[in-house]
Amino acid sequence: MTRQRVLMTAILAAIVVATAARQALSESGQQAAELTEGLERYHHDEDHHHTKPKYAYQYSVHDKHTGDVKDVWEHRDGDVTKGGYTLLEPDGHTRVVEYIVTKKGGFQATVKRLPPHHHH
């Protein structure tokens, strides 16, 4: 192969590679534009169809054999969560905790300790 022919083959190969790279970049640009448009549409829809969180749960344990006695509850409606628990402590007192969590006020709890119940 002559030197000129090698040079022409190299130039043609470079043109083919450049054309393929330009095509790939063009397709990538189109995909990026479609992705950006989809994300903008998602965020727009999210703003208009935002659902507020809402749930409630509770459970209790009253095991006379082990002395494990407790009640727990919580419910949430949007940005307000309320809950609490009671717990029988080893010395017979009952701990009562009630709380509220709001966006503006944060977490606020009240704690009480009730004396033991004596059965006659």
Q: What is the per-residue pLDDT across 96-108, written as a single tens digit (0 to 9) for each?
A: 999 999 999 999 9
119 falls within a domain = no
Give the pLDDT band of residue 67 (cuts 50, 70, 90): confident
Number of domains in the chain: 2
36 falls within a domain = yes
Give the pLDDT band of residue 117 (cuts 50, 70, 90): confident
Compare 31 and 72 and report the one with higher pLDDT: 72
Same domain, 36 and 59: no
49 falls within a domain = no
pLDDT, average across residues 106-120: 85
Backbone angles phi, psi at 78, to 5 degrees: 70, -125
> Does residue 74 contact residue 83 with C-beta atoms inside 8 Å?
yes
pLDDT, average across residues 37-63: 74
Same domain, 70 and 106: yes
Residue 86 above 60 pLDDT?
Answer: yes
Helix%, strand%, coil% for the chain, nearest 5: 40, 40, 20
Amino acid at 72: V
Same domain, 61 and 92: yes
Distance CA 63, CA 23 (A): 71
pLDDT, average across residues 65-74: 93
Same domain, 110 and 83: yes
100 falls within a domain = yes
pLDDT, average across residues 64-71: 91
Tokens of 107: 């977490």
> Does residue 64 contact residue 37 with C-beta atoms inside 8 Å?
no
Owning domain of residue 39: 9-44
